Structure 1
């Protein structure tokens, strides 16, 4: 029984891995595509009674679609939480109380000083994110991976939050 499943999965992999890798690359980028391809086949391996499935390639396609959806949902969540928007309030208007304007200016100076202390690449990533560029856009512009952009943003956010606390 195990040999049947093993040969079925090997055949499924040999027939579909190139097309799936292209699909994942198109949907999530070159960096994450191999991991999702691996995850897809791991999910197939974990299926009980794989031999009873009428259309294994269709199952693989459904798994791939779900993996891409999960990946994109996770990416949106990460980006939303890594965005520095919550660190900066809108500039106070002339009607704002003077002490509130002073507090805003104090926090702005603290934030500027914290950003100035960031390593150059980290600062560049942070500043590009402030221009509403996505992680993917920043990665493409700087020639680094999405993961590295997220690491830089996470570090910048920790430094900025610490400066404001």
Structure 2
């Protein structure tokens, strides 16, 4: 019996309710959502209460639903507006920079560990060449070895480091 009265109310007031909600919300999609929510709330209310004036109650519910929906839409608009005020490319760029820094640190750790595994003389020659920038002849003089041996140590260091690190780079 109650379902029939809701159905009758929908038939008699449905078009008026849609116009009211469209005018109030300014958007047919929001009006349709609000109408559906209005009828759902009406069904819940009617199961617990006898209504003397269901039409008045229907529009009272619709006004509350429309106000809530309009408030939510304003909040969403302000939220998305504040997000567009942020330069999302800057956020993405900063995240990419952080990620690149983390990757670079890991690569550096891997290279450092690889250099640490070199034989002591080979490591010493490589560090003098790569980090102190000494020419091969100066390294040979400093360590009392031939320039050819310096070249062999550097080649070995580069090759070993490359082989240990190639999968990561």
Query: TM-score with structure 2 length normalisation?
Result: 0.49
Looking at both structures, which has the greater relative contact order when contacts are Cα pairs under 8 Å and sequence separation is at least 6? 1
User: Comparing both structures, which one devotes a greater share of its residues to helix?
Assistant: 2
CA radius of gyration, larger in:
2
